[in-house]
């Protein structure tokens, strides 16, 4: 999207630290190359349909600060770092910074908004996509790799803690924690923690460690094998039929 200032801004912000945008038409904003919430047209992971999150997605009236205290807590839990709106926020809460307001060549075409502006805000002080419990244990994070099936980062923690990555926790995700010498840590020093389905959590001791989340779904592999087997059978049948026709033609 070379003509979209929104995509360029979000991708620039995302290179510094992973972005998650609360925006209308969430699936559309995903095309900018960043994560977004909430669900779109009733489609999305079940975790995002919980009642506890609906208040976070409700915009305030002109007489209220946005986001309010309770809303800010829920947006933090979801790892939201930016807000995108089609109208200016009348009373932005402390820490909400307007990055830019302008028509966007991509979104305005998709939304049919003509030359109306959209408004992109950054939530300064957001907990971000990686959080710790206790909250002050996470001193520094360096993102090393972020792919759909692999997320890797290095952290410096001042105390033993639980690290929560604000990404959905599907069966098939596994985690490794390595110390500075590249030695793999085992339980109880480092072990996955099942807390909820909208975070992937792992215990990490104090110090500098590398955390690697990888996705390996057995059902996905089985599907690939079945598809490959079906294709092989079909090719075999086609080859057999071709040979039979060639034999009949030779005899005639």
% of the chain surpassing 70 pLDDT: 83
Tell me whether the omega of the peptide bond preceding residue 182 falls within 30 degrees of 0, making it cis: no
Are 91 and 142 members of one domain? no
Summarised one tens digit per residue, pLDDT across range 71-89 is 888 899 889 999 999 999 9
CATH of the domain at 162: 2.60.40
Are 15 and 77 members of one domain? yes
Are 22 and 114 members of one domain? yes
Structurally, the chain folds into a number of domains equal to: 2
Are 9 and 116 members of one domain? yes
Are 118 and 154 members of one domain? no
Summarised one tens digit per residue, pLDDT across range 124-146 is 999 899 999 999 999 999 999 99
User: Containing domain of residue 17, as a range?
Assistant: 5-123
Q: Is residue 234 part of a domain?
A: no
Are 22 and 115 members of one domain? yes
Q: Tell me how long the chain is.
A: 252
Are 115 and 206 members of one domain? no
Angle, CA of 14, 47 and 209, to the nearest 5°: 50
What pLDDT was estimated at residue 61?
A: 63
What does each C-alpha distance from 199 to 21, 54, 147, 193, 237 come to in angstroms?
A: 17, 18, 17, 10, 47
């Amino acid at each position: 999207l070379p003509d979209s200032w929104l995509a360029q801004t979000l991708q620039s912000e995302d290179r510094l630290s992973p972005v998650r945008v609360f925006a209308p038409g969430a699936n559309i904003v995903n095309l900018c190359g960043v994560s977004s919430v909430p669900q779109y047209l009733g489609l999305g992971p079940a975790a995002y349909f919980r009642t506890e999150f609906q208040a976070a997605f409700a915009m305030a009236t002109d007489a209220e600060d946005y986001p309010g205290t309770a809303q800010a807590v829920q947006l933090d839990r979801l790892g939201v770092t930016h807000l995108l709106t089609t109208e200016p926020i009348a009373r932005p809460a402390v820490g909400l910074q307007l990055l830019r307001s302008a028509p966007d060549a991509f979104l305005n075409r998709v939304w049919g908004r003509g030359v109306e502006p959209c408004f992109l805000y950054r939530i300064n002080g957001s907990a971000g996509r990686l959080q710790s419990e206790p909250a002050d244990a996470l001193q520094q994070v360096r993102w090393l790799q972020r792919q759909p099936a692999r997320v890797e980062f290095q952290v410096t923690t001042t105390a033993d803690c639980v690290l929560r990555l604000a990404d959905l926790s599907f069966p098939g995700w596994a985690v490794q924690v390595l110390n500075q010498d590249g030695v793999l840590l085992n339980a109880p020093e480092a072990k996955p923690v099942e807390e909820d389905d909208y975070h992937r959590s792992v215990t990490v001791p104090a110090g500098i460690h590398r955390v690697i989340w990888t996705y390996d779904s057995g059902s996905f592999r089985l599907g690939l094998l079945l598809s490959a087997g079906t294709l092989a059978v079909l090719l075999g049948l086609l080859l057999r039929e071709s040979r039979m026709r060639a034999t009949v033609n030779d005899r005639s």
